[in-house]
Amino acid sequence: MLRWIIFIIVYLVLGFYTLQAIKAGTRYPWVHYAFIAISLLVLGNFIYQFTFGATDGRVLSRPKSYALGFLLTVVTFKIITVVFLLSEDLFRLLSGFYQKVFGIDKTFTFPERRRFLSLIAMGIAAVPFGGLLYGMYKGKYNFKVLKYNLEFDDLPDAFDGYQITQISDVHSGSFDNREKIVYAIDLINKQKSDVLLFTGDLVNNKAEEMHPWKELFSTLEAKDGKFSILGNHDYGDYVDWNTEEEKAENLEDLKKLQKEIGFDLLLNDSRYLTKGNDKIALIGVENWGRGGFKKAGDLKKATKNIQKNDFKILLSHDPSHWEDKVLHDDDHYHLTLSGHTHGMQFGIEIPGWIKWSPVKWRYKYWAGIYQELGQYINVNRGFGFLGYPGRVGIWPEITVITLKKRI
């Protein structure tokens, strides 16, 4: 309860301060009242969804997700505006003291807030405000196909030009537009890759979230098969289950769903992809993550039927596994495919110029291709979304990787 009280007080103080900028920027009372109304509606909806309206425990349902998204949008606008106002008020305070000490009139006067600075503050704050709204409306379904060519000295000859499509972090429980998902599935199939690899988090929490989408995802095509692993959300660890048996049943239901979709689920296991007399090893581990995440991934178990000198592709949901375990393993893993980070669903990417997201402060390898010690990893930015119901700058990704023999 104390946390709620502190949160509400801070939110209202930010709102009051921002209102001063709005009043300085425009004299129309309806604008002031509209800001107050929107601010209170967003706060009220957030409180309701996470208290009285919360019938799903810790599960971040769609209504909760949107309540969080709208709150984040309004708070971001307020914080940026307030930062500018504080700098302006500091100047006004110093100006008032200067007039009192050195001015002709020794009385202290607080100079009036300058209108143009209030307009500049709100103009700058409007950029992320509009971006976050766009991310919820359009950005979350702004699917991008990212293509890479990766060269290897020891790639088996028959696999020169072999094409892989990777998707990750579907989070089907967040979907709210079937037409957009139909488009994305069609976009995946248009790549006509040899193999399709899915690197975990099919659902947010429960297997039932995938039921409305099962038939659609079963239309995914790849001539050499579709393979998958589990992500941290697939285990149901973020739900207050009535019993452990209920949780275990949910996981079994999810595994059955993957099979019905046509995925060959690799649970610390391996398969060989063959072309003529050549083969490459496909290895899939269960989730292994740093910082409190489940550590069920077992490289030794997964590779028990694999030869040391095989060309290896590893599916591992969390890129921290690659950094902490895979890179320095006795075996050489030529290519690891991961997801998990979502690129935080927020950032700035201009190819060849800038690639930034706050998630880089937690994950060293957070999006795209990296190479260390002669081994590659691709961290897919994710197909779906979770938490904030949108994406800004970090768009949903379909990765297409072509393996090439280095000449």
Asked if residue 168 and residue 120 are part of one domain, the reply reads no
Q: Are residues 328 and 212 in the same domain?
A: yes
Identify the pLDDT of residue 407: 82
Helix segments in 103-196, DSSP class H? 115-137, 178-190
Predicted pLDDT of residue 384? 97
The reply to whether 122 and 150 lie within a common domain is: no
pLDDT number for residue 50 = 87
Same domain, 91 and 185: no
DSSP H or E run through 193: none
Q: How many domains does the chain have?
A: 2
The predicted structure's pLDDT at residue 94: 61
Q: Enter the tokens of residue 166.
A: 């990777």
- Say how far apart CA 359 and CA 391 lie, in whole Å: 14
Whether residue 189 is found in the same domain as residue 132: no
349: containing domain: 142-405
Which of 137, 157, 174 corresponds to the end of one domain? 137
Asked whether the beta carbons of 25 and 122 are under 8 A apart, the reply is: yes
Per-residue pLDDT of the chain (407 residues; tens, 9 = 90+): 788 899 999 999 999 989 888 887 788 889 899 999 999 999 999 999 988 776 666 677 888 999 999 999 999 999 998 887 776 666 556 665 556 556 555 554 545 556 677 778 788 888 999 999 999 999 999 999 999 999 999 999 999 999 999 999 999 999 999 999 999 999 999 999 999 999 999 999 999 999 999 999 999 999 999 999 999 999 999 998 999 999 999 999 999 999 999 999 999 999 999 999 999 999 999 999 998 899 999 999 999 999 999 999 999 999 999 999 999 999 999 999 999 999 999 999 988 899 999 999 999 999 999 999 999 999 999 999 999 999 999 999 999 999 999 98
**Which of 137, 154, 185 is at the close of a domain?**
137
Please give the Cα distance from 50 to 45 (Å, whole number): 9
The whole-angstrom separation of Cα 176 and Cα 137 is 11
353, 393: one domain = yes
Q: What is the CATH number of the domain that holds 238?
A: 3.60.21.10
The answer to whether residues 152 and 122 belong to one domain is no
CB count in 10 Å sphere of residue 321? 25
Amino acid 68: pLDDT: 93
Give residue 51's pLDDT. 85
pLDDT for residue 193: 98
Which residues 6+ apart lie within 8 Å of 57 measured at CB?
A: 239, 240
188, 46: one domain: no
Domain termination site, one of 89, 109, 137: 137
Same domain, 286 and 363: yes
62-102 vs 115-137: helix axis angle to the nearest 10?
Answer: 170
Tell me the β-bridge partners of 97: none
Q: Within this chain, do residues 290 and 194 fall inside the same structural domain, yes or no?
A: yes
Shared domain check, 113 and 210? no
- Return the closest-CA partner of residue 14 out of 77, 92, 98: 77
Radius of gyration of the chain (CA): 26
Same domain, 175 and 44: no
Q: Which two tokens stand for residue 5?
A: 């009280």
